């Protein structure tokens, strides 16, 4: 592929290509699947040491909001696009040494369920953000390949509302989104909106902590949806071709919201490379070393606690149980 003058004028094209080639050249120490190795060797003719093939232990950063440029690479959505009254803003917040807060983004605004004077609009009350199209590089469209990793990790400071993590891939149905509830230690019960999920966190508090926490979401626990509805049959995330990652708020509870995000990455657990930063930022809420690697996160995390509380109903109802979760 020979870059045109237009592509060459886009400084990001060569930067993206260099970064991706650099990442692939180090992939022997990061690790990828054997199938992906064959594809890269065949298609891109990139040579590397196959003896280093193993499950990756180092994190793969997807969105690092300590870099202010990352904010400009994201965009917000709200029901204002269809005449609604909800708002969504994404602001960069510099590091604050006095509170030990890292540089991060603030996803904030207000949710309104007021309907516009338009008979075609039947539902409002949502806001979200995600990264923009990642653009092109030397070998075509750029995607994230998270195939070697088990979890999506997010370091956040939550106001307790019911956010949803959204992953979009290069799938046959472009509007399909894989979603997962963003359960945190700081969920709270909203007036007039106490659900089973929120009741589990009724006594949660941020007192005595930094408020920051790291949440691991297993990739195989994401639910395939389309326009907010669970789709049958369920299909796994196409981990080799992830287009975008974002967070949305669709709890339809009127009022302000405020979510802080430090970083989003793919991982197989909390390793030595992460633990110092984790303890510095999250304080008493820091995850232990090897969380997810040897301690089986899926069995010990809050997500599992929530799932175990629902297990009889979910096992009994199958996708109906999932649908009731998403269509509350």
Buried b (16+ CB within 10 A) or exposed e, 43-61: eeeeebeeeeeeebbbbbe
Instruction: Give me 307's structure tokens.
Output: 């799932």
Which pLDDT tens digit goes with each residue over 259-307? 999 999 999 999 888 999 999 999 988 999 988 765 444 444 444 444 4
pLDDT recorded at residue 25:
55
C-alpha R_g of the chain = 20
Q: CB–CB of 310/321 below 8 Å? A: yes
CATH 2.60.120.260 maps onto the chain at 56-326
Q: Is the pLDDT of residue 34 over 90?
A: no
Does position 212 have pLDDT exceeding 90, yes or no?
A: yes
Q: Determine which of 176-185, 230-239, 291-300 has the lowest per-residue pLDDT on average.
A: 291-300
Confidence of residue 184 (pLDDT cuts 50, 70, 90): confident
> How far is Cα 125 from Cα 195, in angstroms, rounded to an integer?
18
Q: Which residue has the higher pLDDT, 23 or 158?
A: 158
Please report the pLDDT score of residue 99 as a whole number.
85
> Among 59-68, 236-245, 301-310, whose mean pLDDT is lowest?
301-310
Domain 56-326 has CATH 2.60.120.260: yes
pLDDT, tens only, 107-147: 999 999 999 988 788 889 999 999 999 887 676 789 999 99
Taking all residues of the chain, what is their mean pLDDT, rounded to a whole number?
Answer: 76
CB burial of 303-319 (b: ≥16 within 10 Å; e: otherwise) equals: bbebeeebeeebeeeee
Q: Quick one: angle between helices 319-326 and 302-317, nearest 10?
A: 120
Question: The whole model's pTM is what?
Answer: 0.73
pLDDT in tens, 73-83: 999 999 988 89
Both structure tokens of 48: 């590397």
What was the pLDDT predicted at 204? 38
């Amino acid at each position: 592929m020979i870059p045109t003058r237009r592509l060459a004028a886009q400084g990001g094209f060569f930067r993206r290509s260099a970064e991706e080639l650099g990442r692939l050249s180090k992939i022997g120490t990061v690790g990828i699947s054997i199938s992906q190795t064959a594809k890269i060797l065949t298609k891109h003719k990139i040579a590397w040491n196959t003896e280093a093939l193993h499950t990756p232990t180092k994190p793969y950063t997807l969105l690092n909001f300590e870099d202010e440029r990352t904010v400009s690479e994201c965009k917000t959505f709200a029901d204002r696009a269809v005449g609604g009254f909800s708002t969504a803003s994404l602001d960069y917040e510099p590091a604050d040494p006095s509170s030990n807060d890292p540089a991060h983004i603030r996803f904030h605004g207000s949710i309104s369920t007021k309907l516009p004077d338009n008979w075609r609009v039947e539902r409002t009350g949502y806001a979200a953000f995600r990264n923009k199209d990642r653009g092109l590089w030397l070998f075509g469209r750029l995607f994230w390949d998270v195939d070697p990793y088990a979890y999506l990790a997010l370091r956040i400071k939550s106001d307790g509302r019911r956010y949803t993590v959204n992953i979009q891939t290069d799938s046959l149905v472009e509007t399909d989104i894989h979603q997962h509830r963003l359960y945190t230690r700081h969920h709270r019960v909203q007036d007039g909106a106490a659900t089973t999920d929120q009741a589990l966190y009724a006594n949660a508090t941020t007192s005595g902590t930094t408020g920051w926490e790291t949440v691991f979401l297993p990739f195989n626990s994401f639910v395939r949806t389309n326009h907010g509805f669970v789709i049958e049959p369920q299909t796994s995330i196409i981990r080799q071709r992830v287009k975008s990652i974002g967070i949305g708020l669709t709890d339809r509870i009127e009022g302000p919201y405020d979510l802080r995000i430090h970083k989003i990455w793919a991982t197989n657990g909390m390793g030595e490379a992460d633990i110092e930063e984790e303890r510095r930022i999250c304080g008493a809420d820091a995850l232990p070393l090897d969380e997810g690697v040897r301690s089986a996160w899926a069995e010990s995390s809050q997500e599992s606690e929530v799932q175990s509380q629902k297990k009889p109903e979910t096992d009994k109802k199958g996708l109906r149980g999932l649908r009731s979760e998403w269509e509350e």
